[in-house]
Amino acid sequence: MNCWHCKTELIWGGDHDIDHEDESYSMITNLSCPNCGSDVDVYLPKEWEGNGREIVKIKYTCKHCKNTQYISEFLTNLFTTIMPSFTLSCYVCTNPITKKDIEEQNE
């Protein structure tokens, strides 16, 4: 996904479960632009899950800072197949997360 303002590839910052905090949305995905500094929040409507779809979250522990986070399977698939240049990074230390890192932890 590219930045609206400068068209640079956005960096994934994390997925956060907001199901208990919001009536309309179940998850927020944070993205940022490494070029112009823009931040993008993407909200997943609760009705999306209600149509027979399920959000699958993959547990990942950063090798650098040991922070545990959950990456949605949708983003993982997006980053590994559809958009191989899409960059994931730890939202605590910003260390890059590779496809190999995710696969190794989820075998």
Q: Encode pLDDT of 21-47 as tens digits.
A: 878 888 888 889 999 999 999 888 877
Whether 1 has a pLDDT exceeding 60, the answer reads yes
| CA separation for the pair 73, 77 (Å, rounded) | 6
**CA-based nearest residue to 102, from 54, 63, 45, 49:** 63
Q: Which pLDDT score is estimated for 12?
A: 86
79 occurs within a structural domain: yes
Domain that holds residue 36: 11-105
4 occurs within a structural domain: no
What is the count of structural domains for the chain?
1
97 occurs within a structural domain: yes
**CA-based nearest residue to 31, from 91, 98, 100:** 91
Task: Please work out, in degrees rounded to the nearest 5, the angle formed at the alpha carbon of residue 92 by the alpha carbons of 28 and 99.
Answer: 75
Quote the pTM value.
0.51
The predicted-structure confidence for 43-93, as pLDDT tens digits, reads as follows 888 776 555 555 666 777 888 888 877 776 656 665 555 555 666 777 778
